[in-house]
Structure 1
Amino acid sequence: MSIIEAIIFGIVQGLTEFLPISSTAHIVITQLILGTPFPGLTFEIYLHIASVFAVMIYFRKDLIEVIIGFFSYFKTRSKKNRIQFFFGIYILIATVITGVLGMLLKDFVGDSMKTPPYIAGALIVTGLGLIFIERVHQYGARTEKDMNFFDAIVVGLGQTLAVLPGISRSGATLITALLVGLERDTAVRYSFLLVIPVILGSTVLAVGDVSSEIFAAIGTPALIVSFITTFIFSWIGIVWLIDFLKRSKLIYFAIYCFAAAIFVYFFLDATTIIDI
């Protein structure tokens, strides 16, 4: 892999990982436009780790607060620790649901779901979900102290949909979190913190599939550049999304999803089976 290709893949992965527009769809679009096959699961996991580092550093205060509150609750049953304890539980519940159902559905994703027309359809579904939550469903006012087990189950089920190529993980979690009545800031924070155990867990489960040959084929310089690029643009994506949602609406992401779906459907070879 050339340095330029490593930078491009890093930019695409970093920016789209946390925006509700499907990073998988954009990786597919990128590799088909460049004519460069994405190097497979090993490289995808590698880039996801860079994205997770960006989330962990950006939300380090929130993460530390949840971890300390979670374990402190066993000693000090204070109200603050109770909120963080259950917030941690809700993160774990959604993660377990996603992990278990994700493994069960993995074999369900056949080659017919790895084609441009299917991915275009999934992008449209994501866009419709964003429009529904923005235009039809009224925003709630519940924060993390008001969350319950039902919220975690629904968000976990929503996050599981991301196993389908073209369905945005961040979009699915954000839509379902807003659907159960969480206020926007809490929904965004919950969605971002959820990505940490999900990606770390999938990384552990996929260790057996990691191939050193792929890393050797990509080359050390390209690996370093792609990792750094993904980290930087993941950070940019996080900052931009949080700032954007404070002053604008999700419907703009829906419009973008529709535009991307049109491009994928009409301009990419419909017979191509993507290795994702």
Structure 2
Amino acid sequence: MTLFEAIVFGIIQGVTEFLPVSSSAHIVITQLVFGYTFPGLAFEIYLHLASVLAVILYFWKDVWDVIQGFFNFVIKRSPKDRVQFYFGLYILIATALTGILGKLLQDALGANLKTPAMIAGSLFLTGLALIFIERFHKVGNKDESSMTFIDAIIVGLGQTLAVIPGISRSGSTLVVGLLVGLNRETAVRYSFLLAIPVILGSTVLAFEDFSAAAFAYIGPLNLVVSFVITFVFSILGIIWLIDFLKKSKLIYFAIYCFLLAIFVLTMIDGNVIMEV
């Protein structure tokens, strides 16, 4: 890997991780453009860790409030911590469902996950979901205090689909959160906080891919540069998305997903994707 490629991968991961456009699809497509194949999942997970660090630092107060409220309620049964306890529980429920069902789905689909048809179809489905939630669904008024276990289960099921490149994790959790009646602010916050245990959990599951040989293949300088670039652009992506959602529409992301799906079907060699 060249330094230029490390920078590009860092930018792509950082920018797309939290936008509803599927970072995994963008990483696969970028590999194909460069004709580069990662050895295992180590480098992809490594870049995801930079993104999750950005979330933790940006939402540190929210993270601390949930953790503190969760354990205070468990230990002291303080009524004022009840909402944060249940919100933390809803994060754990959605994460557990994603971990279990996502692994089963991944094993069932196997190599088909990265075919042009699968990626393009998933991007198209993401676009349709964004249009539906924007144009045909009335935003609800549920917040953390009125969420339910059923809401958490449904969001977890939606997040499970994000193991498929082209199905956006942030997009699926945001869309499904709005679908079950969360207000936009709560759906966005829930989506971002869900990224933390999901990415950390995937790191543990992919631990066997981490090795000195795998990282030597990338190069020490490239590892440092790509991590820093991913972190910086993840922070910028978070700030930009939150501001964008206050003033604009999800339909613009839908249009982008459609265009990218067309690009994948018309410009990417299916045999190459199968080898990635």
Q: TM-score range by the shorter chain?
A: over 0.9
Give the structure-1-normalised TM-score: 0.96
1:179 and 2:179 matched = yes
Equivalent residue, structure 2, for 1:48 = 48
Q: Aligned to 1:96, what secondary structure does the other structure show?
A: helix
Alpha-carbon distance in 2 for matches of 1:113, 1:75? 44
Give the structure-2-normalised TM-score: 0.96
Alpha-carbon distance in 1 for matches of 2:214, 2:176? 36
Equivalent residue, structure 2, for 1:74 = 74
Alpha-carbon distance in 2 for matches of 1:191, 1:66? 14
Alpha-carbon distance in 2 for matches of 1:219, 1:275? 23
**Which segment drifts farther, 207-216 or 187-196?**
207-216
Equivalent residue, structure 2, for 1:225 = 225
Equivalent residue, structure 2, for 1:243 = 243
Alpha-carbon distance in 2 for matches of 1:110, 1:26? 19
Alpha-carbon distance in 2 for matches of 1:148, 1:161? 21
Q: Which amino acid aligns with 2:198?
A: V
Distance 1:275 1:100, change over 3 A: farther
Q: Aligned to 1:216, what secondary structure does the other structure show?
A: helix
5+ residue gaps, structure 1: none
Equivalent runs, 1:135-214 vs 2, <5 Å: 135-214=135-214
Alpha-carbon distance in 1 for matches of 2:131, 2:11? 27
Q: Which amino acid aligns with 2:124?
A: I
Note if contact 2:11-2:230 (Cα within 8 Å) is conserved in structure 1: yes
Equivalent residue, structure 2, for 1:20 = 20
Aligned length: 276
Q: Aligned to 2:108, what secondary structure does the other structure show?
A: coil
Q: Which amino acid aligns with 1:187?
A: A
Note if contact 2:106-2:113 (Cα within 8 Å) is conserved in structure 1: no
Alpha-carbon displacement from aligned partner over 1:185-219 (angstroms, at most 9, x marks no partner): 10000000001001111111211232321101111
Equivalent residue, structure 1, for 2:98 = 98
Equivalent runs, 1:252-267 vs 2, <5 Å: 252-267=252-267
Alpha-carbon distance in 2 for matches of 1:247, 1:157? 29
Q: Aligned to 1:4, what secondary structure does the other structure show?
A: helix
Distance 1:22 1:275, change over 3 A: farther
Q: Aligned to 1:137, what secondary structure does the other structure show?
A: coil
5+ residue gaps, structure 2: none
Give the RMSD, CA atoms, in angstroms. 1.3
Note if contact 1:133-1:179 (Cα within 8 Å) is conserved in structure 2: yes
Equivalent residue, structure 2, for 1:216 = 216
Runs of 4+ in structure 1 over 4 Å off:
none
Alpha-carbon displacement from aligned partner over 1:11-35 (angstroms, at most 9, x marks no partner): 0001111100001111122122222
**Which segment drifts farther, 93-102 or 27-36?**
27-36
Alpha-carbon displacement from aligned partner over 1:150-191 (angstroms, at most 9, x marks no partner): 010000000000112211111111111000000001000000
Equivalent residue, structure 2, for 1:272 = 272
Q: Which amino acid aligns with 1:218?
A: I
Q: Which amino acid aligns with 1:261?
A: A
Distance 1:223 1:275, change over 3 A: farther
Alpha-carbon distance in 1 for matches of 2:52, 2:24? 16
Q: Which amino acid aligns with 1:201?
A: G
